[in-house]
Amino acid sequence: MAIYEDLDGKIALITGGSGDIGEAAIIELARQKCVVYFTYNSSKEQADGIVTKLSETGTKVVAQQCDIQNKTQVKALVEQIVETEGRIDILVNNAGIYKDNLFTTMKDEEFEDVIQTNLFGTFYCTKAAVDNMYRNRSGVVINISSIAGVTSSFGQANYSSAKGAVIAFGRTIAAELAPKKIRVNTIAPGLIESSMVKRIPRNIMKQTLSAIPINRLGQPSEIAKVISFLASEDSSYIVGQTIVADGGLIMR
C-alpha cells in the first residue's frame, strides 16, 4: 500500500467521520501519519470507538461533534483546530445524508434537508477551511460526491441534485483557488459496501451487481486510498477533476 511521505504531520479535517467512507478515510490518513480531526453529528459512541481503535497507532485522531448545516458551529470548529494546530492542510467534505423518495411524493423538507447538508454543508466547511488555507497559500480540498451526481438515480432527485451541485462547486472553486496553491478535486463513488447499500433489496442489488463490469461492490478503503492520493503531492497536477470510482458502472 502506498505511503506518501509528504502527508506525514499534515493536519486533516474529515466531515462525516462516523460513516463508512468517513471512517475508512480517517484510518487511511492516520496510516499516512496525518493529524486527523473528524466530525460526527449524533453518532458519539461510534466516533469514540474510532478514536479508541486508532489510539494505539500513536497518531493523533480527534472526534468533534458538529452539525455541518450550522455555519456557526463549522466556523468555531475550524477556528479551534487552527488555534490548536496552527493550520488545516487537508479538508475532506464527506458528510452527507439521503432521503430517497419518488419526485411526485417527495416532501419539501426531504429535498431541503438533503440539499442543506450535502451542498450547503460542503460550502460552509470549505469556506471556513479555505480562509485559513488562503493565508498559508497551501491546501487540499477533496469533495465526496456520488455517481448519482453524474448520472440519473431513480428516486433521488434531491440527492442527485445535491451531489451534482457538489461536482460543479468543486470545479468552479478549483479554478479560483489553484493560483493560491490550493487544489480542489472531487471523488464520485459508485456502489460502496456500506450501511446505505445494505438497505437495498436483494433482488435490486443482484440486478445492479450484474451491471458493474467488475461484478462487485466497492470497499470504503478503496475510496480512502483515492483520498490519500489526491491529498498527496503525487497528485500535484490534478486540479478541478471528478474521479469516478464505480467499478465501471456508469461506463455502461
Residue of 92, 34, 84 lying closest to 58 (CA atoms)? 34
Q: If you search the block for the grid coordinates 474521479, which residue do you land on?
A: 243
pLDDT value of residue 72: 97
What average pLDDT is seen over the chain?
93
**All 3 cell numbers of residue 156?**
433521488
Predicted model pTM: 0.94
Q: What's the Cα-to-Cα distance from 235 to each of 27, 94, 184, 216, rounded to whole Å?
A: 20, 19, 11, 27
Query: What pLDDT digit, counting tens, does each position of 44-55 carry?
Result: 889 999 999 998
Catalytic residues: 159
**All 3 cell numbers of residue 113?**
434537508
Q: Set out the domains of the chain in order of their start, with CATH numbers.
A: 5-251 (3.40.50.720)
Residue of 225, 146, 134, 223 lying closest to 183 (CA atoms)? 134
Query: What pLDDT digit, counting tens, does each position of 22-35 carry?
Result: 999 999 999 999 99
Query: What pLDDT digit, counting tens, does each position of 68-109 carry?
Result: 999 999 999 999 999 999 999 999 999 988 878 788 898 999
